[in-house]
Structure 1
């Protein structure tokens, strides 16, 4: 079972803002570094708390990493310190990076990725297929899997070109021994088509809306007391939800 940590900003006037409303500014000002560290620490603390439930003993949580963070000197040491301070098992944490994050200072960032991998973390390429150097990055980076960008999934049932692209991505990942996740799954038809393509790890609104950490903890506790029949209430990637 796996979940993704999603960053939101609750503005008193504009309400709940998604990252598209503030992330670029945070990166331009450098605030993404302390923000990212806070998100990572909170995710690790949550993992430790959630894994106390028997039903979540193998739970993994993904956290997105900015290119600015990856270029920060000593970033891997800070990640190691957070893991140590929170007691979070490294294999419970997945860091998601984009191909474009290596376009500047690529060699240095690649070394950082290798150091992070050396800590025992999982690394996944996010938004796969929309970057500038997908195959080169995939060949050289020490990654464990890819996430197919939602732009391809959204038209999966309507556009044969997107069907061919998604199918090729899945076969490529399988051939390289990598995990593959489809993001942005909105309905049962998309989920079933992906399952027929042998992509069983999925995430999106079809499985439920994003939840605050406290509500997600309540769901984990409820799952420990017995089966939850409505799998769509979970914003997690669960092959068993697809009948696999």
Structure 2
């Protein structure tokens, strides 16, 4: 019994021990697992710290320059980008103060304001001009952050710097493009208006007069169209340089657009007469400078200018009004023949307004087909009508029949001559087609005037041949009358176009011969059929010996070159008889008939 009890007690003791042992083992395992987790977390944390340090090290060596200083601005650390930007190596910068980089362009107040912002916000950012080691001053985008300890005291400053030299250059270039003409480098219209407005404001406090000169190059479109835009651009650049030599410091020279320039002269005189005289002297010099020959890529060109002038003082109104006035004066100078200047007069404004209204009417007239062709007979010495010249008239719905002298010059200046000339050519070919089907008219030729601008169109030959084919006419009955202005520039292109048309049978007459260029060396190369004596020589041919001599010379020249000669403006039998005696056997004028819509 006792033995049994002892055994049982022993077993119970053994079981308790075992349970305790199991518990201790389990706790040991849990402790181990906790230690493992702690170790893993510490490793992970250490890894994150190392990663953060690696990223920070990479960031510190980024493209932006970085500087770390103590609270007294002594440099503690710099990165490689700092050296690239400033030129100072690490050893040269450490221990120095950031004032090492000062450019001297900012006053003490600038840095005091920077310090106040850092004290208040612990942050400053902005553009600053600093100096590199080599002495070069450069623009920099600088960010400074103050680092504080837990008690709020600044212990470090961290600055990042970015060299913005290229950005500033790009900004300057964009600003320059916004206010300057890219071809000539001169001020553009936007900058001109800005400076003119500023000048008008300044005049309110000054008694000094100013002046505006508006320049337009004469015959620029002819050079541009005949020789190409490249030559035209070169001429504009040379003209701009010549003009730049004529201005004083503080004046504004601008390219207004196309071949137009504006010169703004300020602070001239408090006397209007003296101002006008000084401005006149400047304009005269400019005319002389621009009239000199232009050497453009080893080719010589000639041009001149028409200049409008207006004076202004503190009583003047607006910039736009002044520019309108001076442009009016320029058109007056141009209508006077060019290569001259005119001062603005209020009466001129009415002329320009009338001109603008007429141009608008012309555009509408072309759209509504208000133009008609009249025909003036051309007659042989035997009295037979051999052909006619097509002359354009404008049948205006309100003004009636408008003569060509009132609208052809405007058509040339505005460029409408291109559309008008195309219509004249088309209508003339339609007329020839009708003549070919009419008894007694099949033998007749039709002369069509072609302007220099129209002839220089790149598709002119195609236009002519296209009309010939469309109306199925005999090309030899079409005669194109050209003026001597075609011989001024690009004679080779002129000859080539003429030869292309001549090969198809088209005839050519040189109109108003003797009044223009008349280069004999070129004349013999042109595939001409006829010379036309201008009516200015025929008018007084009987009473004026000079006109008689010129007429005889033209007739003899035509005969020596194998060309027919026709005289226009023949109004009397005496004129006809004189011409016939000299060998001119074709005539056109009121003696034989006025231009009419129907040729009998």
Task: State TM-score, norm by structure 2.
Answer: 0.35
Pick one of 128, 135, 147 that aligns with 2:513.
128
Tell me, yes or no, if structure 1 residue 190 matches structure 2 residue 557. no
Partner residue, 1:240 = none
Partner residue, 2:336 = none
Larger Rg: 2
Distance 1:90 1:145 in 2: 16
Distance 1:103 1:160 in 2: 29
Q: 1:28: how far off?
A: 2.3
Partner residue, 2:547 = 162
How has the CA–CA distance of structure 1 residues 42 and 132 changed in structure 2, closer, same or farther, with 3 Å as cutoff?
A: same
Question: Any idea what the Cα deviations from partners look like across 1:146-171, whole Å, max 9, x if unmatched?
Answer: 00011100010111111111111111
Pick one of 379, 385, 395 that aligns with 1:10.
395
Distance 1:101 1:205 in 2: 28
Partner residue, 1:177 = 562
Q: Which SS does the other structure have where 1:146 is aligned?
A: strand
Alpha carbons 1:128, 1:134 under 8 Å: kept: no
Tell me, yes or no, if structure 1 residue 119 matches structure 2 residue 504. yes
Pick one of 96, 101, 104 that aligns with 2:489.
104
RMSD: 1.4
Alpha carbons 2:512, 2:533 under 8 Å: kept: yes
Distance 2:407 2:486 in 1: 18
Tell me, yes or no, if structure 1 residue 20 matches structure 2 residue 405. yes
Q: 1:66: how far off?
A: 0.5
Partner residue, 2:431 = 46
Alpha carbons 2:487, 2:517 under 8 Å: kept: no
Partner residue, 1:78 = 463
Q: 1:182: how far off?
A: 0.4
Distance 1:18 1:121 in 2: 28
Q: 1:104: how far off?
A: 3.2
> Where do 5+ consecutive residues of structure 2 fail to align?
1-385
Distance 1:185 1:14 in 2: 29
Alpha carbons 2:511, 2:532 under 8 Å: kept: yes
Partner residue, 1:199 = 584
Alpha carbons 1:99, 1:137 under 8 Å: kept: no
Distance 1:106 1:16 in 2: 37
Q: Which SS does the other structure have where 2:391 is aligned?
A: coil
Distance 2:548 2:519 in 1: 18
Partner residue, 1:94 = 479
Alpha carbons 1:124, 1:144 under 8 Å: kept: yes
Question: Any idea what the Cα deviations from partners look like across 1:75-113, whole Å, max 9, x if unmatched?
Answer: 101110110001111001000001112313333222222
Alpha carbons 1:100, 1:133 under 8 Å: kept: no
Q: 1:35: how far off?
A: 1.2
Alpha carbons 2:461, 2:500 under 8 Å: kept: yes
Alpha carbons 1:63, 1:95 under 8 Å: kept: yes
Distance 1:111 1:198 in 2: 31
Tell me, yes or no, if structure 1 residue 58 matches structure 2 residue 479. no
Alpha carbons 2:411, 2:417 under 8 Å: kept: yes
> Where do 5+ consecutive residues of structure 1 fail to align?
220-244
Alpha carbons 2:389, 2:448 under 8 Å: kept: yes
Alpha carbons 1:98, 1:127 under 8 Å: kept: yes
Alpha carbons 2:436, 2:473 under 8 Å: kept: no
Distance 1:60 1:116 in 2: 16
Alpha carbons 1:71, 1:105 under 8 Å: kept: no
Distance 1:108 1:30 in 2: 21
Distance 2:458 2:477 in 1: 24
Q: Which SS does the other structure have where 1:3 is aligned?
A: strand
Partner residue, 1:226 = none
Pick one of 140, 143, 152 that aligns with 2:525.
140
Higher strand share: 2
Q: Which SS does the other structure have where 1:155 is aligned?
A: coil
Tell which has more relative contact order, 1 or 2 (C-alpha 8 A, sep 6+): 1
